[in-house]
Structure 1
Amino acid sequence: MGKFLPLLVRFVDGRSMQVTSISEAEQALAGQWPNKEADVYREAARLLAAAGEGICRPDIAFSAFEKAARQQRLLRPHKPSASLRILDSLSAPN
């Protein structure tokens, strides 16, 4: 399990991937994106590589990846887990 909350990424070719770590984010960058020349994509790639080398904090690199995926409309909503649904139902006002 990765360090970060999971992101569900759906690529241009219809393939999907759950991303929870820096290494998974680097793998996801190799997928089909709408625009790999976009500044936000290139910045995410640069920061992920720097995080792998220990030059950049992983949370900053992962945030850059999330921003790039969001701007290129690749992020898909995650269904809440069963335990989260139960917690929500218990805390909801009657």
Structure 2
Amino acid sequence: MAFFSFYNVRKPRKFNHQPIYWDPRKEKLEERTRKIRREMGLEKIDENYKPQIKGTFVEGTTHLKRKLEKGETSQGRTYKNVKLVLAVVILLALLWFLYFK
């Protein structure tokens, strides 16, 4: 059994954020080359382009990716939870009627 001590108090872990390096010169150069390629006709212009953000978080995590591959949805998980709670309530009601009544 652990006892509380004033002398050996553990300190919380510190947040260690390491920023990603960003080079504004390189980004401007890439934008200029992309613009020149569009003007020369080497790169197609898509006016209706919207970045695909939906689903990128799931692709980066293993446990969510597994659930997606299995075909599990949030509605399915909710349905399973409701069935579990209902089964527990029925079992508790049976126990109450058998032993306490």
Normalised TM-score (structure 1): 0.22
- Give 1 or 2: higher strand fraction: 1
Compare relative contact order (CA 8 Å, sep 6+) and give the higher one, 1 or 2: 1
Q: TM-score, with normalisation over the residues of structure 2?
A: 0.21
